[in-house]
Amino acid sequence: MESQLEYVNILKPGLLTTVQDLGRRDYRIYGVSVSGVMDALSFRLANTLVGNDENDAAIEITMMGPTIKFETKTAFSITGGNLSPKLNGKSIDMWKVIFAKAGDELSFGKYISGCRSYIALAGGVNVPVVMGSRATFTRGHYGGYMGRALKRGDKLYFNKPDFNIKQLQGRRLRTNDIPDFGEERPIRFILGPHIERFVNKSIENFSNGTYSLSNASDRMGYRLEGEQLIHKDGADIISDFITPGTIQVPGNGYPIIHMADCGTSGGYTKIGVVITTDIPYVAQKKPGDKIKFQVCDINEAQNEYRKIEKMLYDIELNNKLLSRN
Amino acid sequence: MSIENNQYPSYYPMGDRAIVAQFENFISIDVSRKIQSFLYMIKKQDIKGVMELLPAYNNLTIVYNPVIIKYDELIMEFKKIEKDISDDVKIESKTVHIPVAFGGEYGLDIDEIAERSDLTSTEVIKKLQSKSYYVYMIGFIAGYPYCGNIDEKLRFKRRSNPRMSVKKGTVQIADKQVGIFTMDAPSGWHIVGWTPMEVFNPHHLPPGLLSAGDYVKLEPVSSDFVKTWDKEKEKEWNRNWNM
């Protein structure tokens, strides 16, 4: 019987290359980090382009991309930050379907915009499900490919798609639907819940402030440098739940934006939460980059959320037209 | 028993996909039971768009899908049922006994706690093992049980300078709380002991040994005991203590 599994070979691992999906959403009740992709928008678009379910596992790469050899022909897409992708040494376009044949090599160059790209393979990466997800959680050594970032010599298997990949010929995203990670745009957030715990001046300073991303930033949290915020009466709260996007301010007065691998709860004051549609733009920032904040109200945030979901829904409709085995 | 005043819960947004229903702002088992009661009521109501119900010490975080239901609409749903919140709820709960090596290399901060509380280290350890602790919530990174309440004399604020990495199995205290680390992570709590028992395993369902509403009892064991801990000893321990 023909094997249902195909694979790619990792020739060079890059800086931080992991298998991810949309994360462990129903396990926070057990205190389990959601984890999963940093930039869900680019990830979902990458999967949709190649006919996958939007939650199929794909590869997240960071700043310095890997070199990957295809062992069988397949279709793939690259989305997210522009890390200069090349196929057999020749530049290739992002946000479209690309066909590879056995022996082709995918590599990356310098980063032009953003810092994370997604490589979706038609059929989706095949790794075991741990607590409802295929996402790698490196801190816990579980999920994804053996609970770790990919290394040289790893063979990463993917599922054979249940449709003929020729149907993906010519697929690309409309320019309007492609997020621009090079553009300067403010990061919007909803104030609270603990604004009354800060002196007024600090709320004002933060709300219109510009911060830069420190070197001590990772998939768990982004530490910010800039105006120090002053608490009225300490930074401790009785621990409660946090979500990715939460901006926590510990005793030293420097904000931390919680990202995909963040814990589920914390014990420091929260000055605000980045709105869902802007998290991908935060995720594409790298140490040294500036973040300019802007206050947003909940109605505007939820309207933006609905707009993006509608756009993704419309794009996903194309996959209903594929004829599947 | 219903609540007399209607001050609680109050609601606020936690970003655009979560609402926090806030109860009295202190740590108490009565407040925790009210939160459990509200959680149960919302579950029964089966409100469209509600995705996760996450109980903490004194609030309940409700994660929802804003495509299906918006912030204001969801609060209206909660207001319909909040008058029936009660602290008189039956929660299925168990007591889990956990072996702990206190002090020495396993409890780096015991001596400091002793000094600050004007007790000997032995007295601190005695106080820590003297009662069962209620599990208020499970959180942090992976199945971290937030338990309490510890003896009044042992309550201190978190360290101002958190440790960058604390070992899995570490038993630590802060304010009224005691918890057990389920994986290596940064921490600002005071370290009092260490357990070899696996409180969290991502490949089990549910992945954690403890749930909100359970009780945990810390049983002192020697450092030799924890050094020779293995699967067999764990089985034996659970046969003797946790059956």
Q: Which of A30, A33, A243 sits opposite B18 (nearest CB)?
A: A243
Q: Closest Cα of chain B to A217: distance in Å? A: 14
**pLDDT average, residue stretch B123-136:** 96
User: d(Cα A279, Cα A320) in Å, to the nearest integer?
Assistant: 28
- The pLDDT score that the predictor gives to residue B185 is 86
Residue pairs spanning A and B at CB distance below 8 A:
150
Q: Can you give chain A as a three-state secondary structure string?
A: CCCCEEEEEEEECCCCCEEECCCCHHHHHHCCCCCCCCCHHHHHHHHHHCCCCCCCCEEEEECCCCEEEECCCEEEEEEEEECCEEECCEECCCCEEEEECCCCEEEECCCCEEEEEEEEECCCECCCCECCECCCEHHHCECCCCCCCCCCCCEEEEECCCECHHHHCCCECCHHHCCCCCCCCCEEEEECCCHHHECHHHHHHHHCCEEEECCCCCCCEEEEECCCCCECCCCEEEEEECCCCEEECCCCCCCEEECCCCCCEEEECEEEEECHHHHHHHHCCCCCCEEEEEECCHHHHHHHHHHHHHHHHHHHHHHHCCCEC
Given pLDDT bands bounded at 50, 70 and 90, which one contains residue A247? Answer: very high
Q: What is the pLDDT of residues B77-129, one digit of tens each?
A: 999 999 888 888 777 789 999 999 999 999 999 999 999 999 999 999 999 99
Q: Is the pLDDT of residue B38 over 60?
A: yes
Q: Is the pLDDT of residue A251 over 60?
A: yes
Helix (H, G, I), strand (E, B) or coil at B148: strand
Cβ–Cβ gap A25/B52 under 8 Å: yes
The mean predicted confidence, pLDDT, of chain A is 95
Range of A91-100, A229-238, B35-44 with top mean pLDDT:
A91-100
- The pLDDT score that the predictor gives to residue A4 is 56
For testing contact with chain B, the best of A196, A243, A279 (most B CBs within 10 A): A243
ipTM associated with this complex? 0.95
Whether B110 contacts B192, CB under 8 Å: yes
Give strand pairing partners of B200: B208
Given pLDDT bands bounded at 50, 70 and 90, which one contains residue A1? Answer: very low
Q: Is the pLDDT of residue B7 over 80?
A: no
Q: Which of A130, A190, A298 sits opposite B202 (nearest CB)?
A: A130
- The pLDDT score that the predictor gives to residue B162 is 82
Whether A93 contacts A178, CB under 8 Å: no
Cβ–Cβ gap B61/A240 under 8 Å: yes
For testing contact with chain B, the best of A218, A240, A257, A282 (most B CBs within 10 A): A240
- The pLDDT score that the predictor gives to residue A24 is 95
Q: Closest Cα of chain B to A23: distance in Å? A: 14
pLDDT > 90: percent of chain A: 93
- The pLDDT score that the predictor gives to residue A6 is 87
In this structure, the strands spanning A113-121 and A265-268 are unpaired
- The pLDDT score that the predictor gives to residue B124 is 97
Q: Closest Cα of chain B to A159: distance in Å? A: 23
Give strand pairing partners of A240: A266
Structure tokens at A63: 């700043």
User: d(Cα B51, Cα B67) in Å, to the nearest integer?
Assistant: 12
Given pLDDT bands bounded at 50, 70 and 90, which one contains residue B6? Answer: low
Which chain B residue has its CA at the smallest distance from A131's CA? B202
Q: Is the pLDDT of residue A305 over 60?
A: yes
Give strand pairing partners of A203: none
Q: What is the pLDDT of residues A128-152, one digit of tens each?
A: 999 999 999 998 899 999 999 999 9
Helix (H, G, I), strand (E, B) or coil at B118: coil
- The pLDDT score that the predictor gives to residue A50 is 98
Q: Which of A31, A299, A302 sits opposite B140 (nearest CB)?
A: A31
Q: Which of B61, B141, B174 sits opposite A263 (nearest CB)?
A: B141
Cβ–Cβ gap B52/A30 under 8 Å: no
Q: Closest Cα of chain A to B136: distance in Å? A: 10
The mean predicted confidence, pLDDT, of chain B is 92
Cβ–Cβ gap A193/B12 under 8 Å: yes
Q: Is the pLDDT of residue A202 over 70?
A: yes
Q: Which of B14, B53, B200 sits opposite A193 (nearest CB)?
A: B14
User: d(Cα A68, Cα A70) in Å, to the nearest integer?
Assistant: 7
Cβ–Cβ gap B139/A239 under 8 Å: yes
Q: Which of A27, A192, A305 sits opposite B16 (nearest CB)?
A: A305
Helix (H, G, I), strand (E, B) or coil at B70: coil
- The 10 Å Cβ neighbour count of residue A71 is 17
Q: Closest Cα of chain B to A241: distance in Å? A: 7
Which chain B residue has its CA at the smallest distance from A261's CA? B141
Structure tokens at A189: 């957030």
User: d(Cα A31, Cα B15) in Å, to the nearest integer?
Assistant: 19
Helix (H, G, I), strand (E, B) or coil at B75: helix
Q: What is the pLDDT of residues B152-208, one digit of tens each?
A: 999 999 887 889 899 999 999 999 999 999 989 888 899 999 999 999 999 998 899
Q: Is the pLDDT of residue A23 over 90?
A: yes
Which chain B residue has its CA at the smallest distance from A263's CA? B141
Crossing angle for the helix pair B110-117 and B121-129, to the nearest 10 degrees: 100
Cβ–Cβ gap A243/B139 under 8 Å: no
Q: Closest Cα of chain B to A73: distance in Å? A: 34
For testing contact with chain A, the best of B16, B69, B70 (most A CBs within 10 A): B16
For testing contact with chain B, the best of A34, A146, A295, A298 (most B CBs within 10 A): A298
Cβ–Cβ gap A275/B52 under 8 Å: no
Q: Closest Cα of chain A to B240: distance in Å? A: 26
Which chain A residue has its CA at the smallest distance from B69's CA? A302
Given pLDDT bands bounded at 50, 70 and 90, which one contains residue B142? Answer: confident
Adjacency order of strands within the sheet including A67-70: A90-91, A85-87, A105-108, A67-70, A5-12, A155-159
- The pLDDT score that the predictor gives to residue B2 is 42
Q: What is the DSSP letter of B159?
A: P
Q: Within chain A, what is the greatest distance between any pair of CA atoms?
A: 70
Contact residues on chain A for B26, CB-CB shorter than 8 A: 238
Using alpha carbons, list the distances in angstroms from residue A25 to A60, A143, A219, B100: 19, 14, 17, 32
- The pLDDT score that the predictor gives to residue B1 is 40
In 3D, which of B156, B152, B173, B155 has the Cα closest to residue B107? Answer: B173
Q: Is the pLDDT of residue A78 over 60?
A: yes
For testing contact with chain B, the best of A134, A239, A242, A313 (most B CBs within 10 A): A239
Predicted TM-score (pTM) of the model is 0.92
Crossing angle for the helix pair B71-81 and A298-320, to the nearest 10 degrees: 110
Q: Is the pLDDT of residue A156 over 90?
A: yes
Q: Is the pLDDT of residue B5 over 60?
A: no
User: d(Cα A179, Cα A80) in Å, to the nearest integer?
Assistant: 8
Q: Is the pLDDT of residue A122 over 90?
A: yes
